[in-house]
Chain A
Amino acid sequence: MATRRDAGSELKFAVDLVNRIVEGIDGIRTGVHICRGNWSKQDSVHLSGDYEPLVPSLSKINVQQLVLEFATPRAGDFGIVGRNLNNREIGLGVASPKTEEVESVEYIVGKVEKALEHYQPENIFLNPDCGFGTFSGCSITTHEAASAKMKRIVEAAKLLRERYAGRAERKVGEAAA
């Protein structure tokens, strides 16, 4: 029965599956990770396109966090996610698992500051775009490169905490008042 199903019903099916799994389960953080492929160092062979067509479905997924690619330009404009899905946490992709070159602190901070236009600091998590070794048969990077990238992300997080610690505290104070 190879009937073509439209993307809408396929996405609804996918969202319903996740929601059935997590229904009524608390006491553990749940998240969904979406990417555009992670099997090759050649960036251009992976899928490309922004989150716009996924927004209606993602807004109905009952998980706390969406873990999304943003280090690659293939993921499109952050504003689409920022404007529409900011009522939950974002696991923000700030480094590419496919490249050897380690992203600079400034680059990572820039990505996060873009997210801060839409998200509270405590709802922003920092991670690479995807895993560093998705398939055992085609390792895309090395232990050393992955370690260096994680160190750099931590460095950026420290700087961001210094810069934005006050903002979260103020928010708490405002809520209390």
Chain B
Amino acid sequence: MFDVTQVGSWPRSEKLLRALEDRRNGRMTRAHFDRIADEDVRRCIAAQTEAGVDIVVDGEQRRDSFVSFVTEKVEGTKLMSMEETADDKKAFEQMLKAADVKPGTIRNPVCVGKLSRRDPLAVDEFKFVRSLTDLPVKIALPGPYLLIRTMWGPKFSRKHYPKPTDMADDVVRILRDELIELRGAGCEFVQFDEPVLTEVVHSGKAQEGESFSRTFM
């Protein structure tokens, strides 16, 4: 009872932030990056073990963000800054400023082709944590609605999926396969992140087409 755990992400070290940037710009190999990220995951697990939590997370240290990391794993996606995907750049930059978002700091996965799971999304993350601790592990995955809302944009996606809802079957398949594989690997807890549900009811911006460029939660 009263099991203590976390929601997912953990602050990344300066070294890891630089490595993420190098990796994004193609200046660092996956193997080199993983060695640096492994260190930060160890640090994150150590902090949780020392605190005495009941269920650990890996702190999403390997991810650019809780959602954008899928571009490395899912066929048909591309990582873009929100400025790149906005229709009206000036209005969009003003909106970001009002929301206290520094320009260029939040990137989204954008659907640019037929979606399929090229690599498991988080099975490797799970296996590394399992090698460090016997505590139950929670893995956070972007929820299906979040993925569809962030990935679909008329300019880039319409050719492959005329409407956001047309992505449903492929997104469900990707996440269901991942859930089954994580269970098979021994993961105890999978959490789907659906932050934009509050945007639907509290911002009045649940509009198809427009949603894509505004979603940054």
Residues of A bordering B, CB below 8 Å: 1-7, 10-11, 13-14, 17-18, 20-22, 25, 27-40, 42, 45, 47-49, 53-54, 57, 63, 65, 67, 91, 93, 97, 112, 121-122, 124-143, 145-147, 150-151, 153-154, 157, 160-161, 164-165, 168
Q: Is A35 in contact with B17, judged by CB distance below 8 angstroms?
A: no
Residues of chain B at interface, number, CB under 8 A: 79
Q: Is A34 in contact with B198, judged by CB distance below 8 angstroms?
A: yes
Q: How far is the CA of A121 from the CA of B189 in the complex (A)?
A: 19
Q: How far is the CA of A2 from the CA of B11 in the complex (A)?
A: 38
Q: Is A138 in contact with B101, judged by CB distance below 8 angstroms?
A: yes
What is the minimal beta-carbon distance from A44 to any residue of chain B, in angstroms?
Answer: 9
- Please classify the interface of chain A as helix (H, G, I), strand (E, B), loop, or mixed, using the class held by over half of its residues: mixed
Q: Is B208 in contact with A21, judged by CB distance below 8 angstroms?
A: no
On chain B, the residues within 8 Å of A145 by CB distance are 11
A-B contact count (CB 8 A): 261
User: Which B residues between 32 and 52 are near A, CB-CB below 8 angstroms?
Assistant: 43, 47-48, 50-52
Partner of A67, one of B7, B145, B165, B182: B7
User: Which B residues between 106 and 138 are near A, CB-CB below 8 angstroms?
Assistant: 106-107
Q: Is B99 in contact with A36, judged by CB distance below 8 angstroms?
A: no
What is the minimal beta-carbon distance from B18 to any residue of chain A, in angstroms?
Answer: 10
What is the minimal beta-carbon distance from A154 to any residue of chain B, in angstroms?
Answer: 4
User: Beyond A32-B192, A63-B192, is A1–B208 a contact (Cβ under 8 Å)?
Assistant: yes
Q: B143 on the interface (CB 8 Å rule)?
A: yes
- Nearest CB in chain B to that of A3: its residue: B208
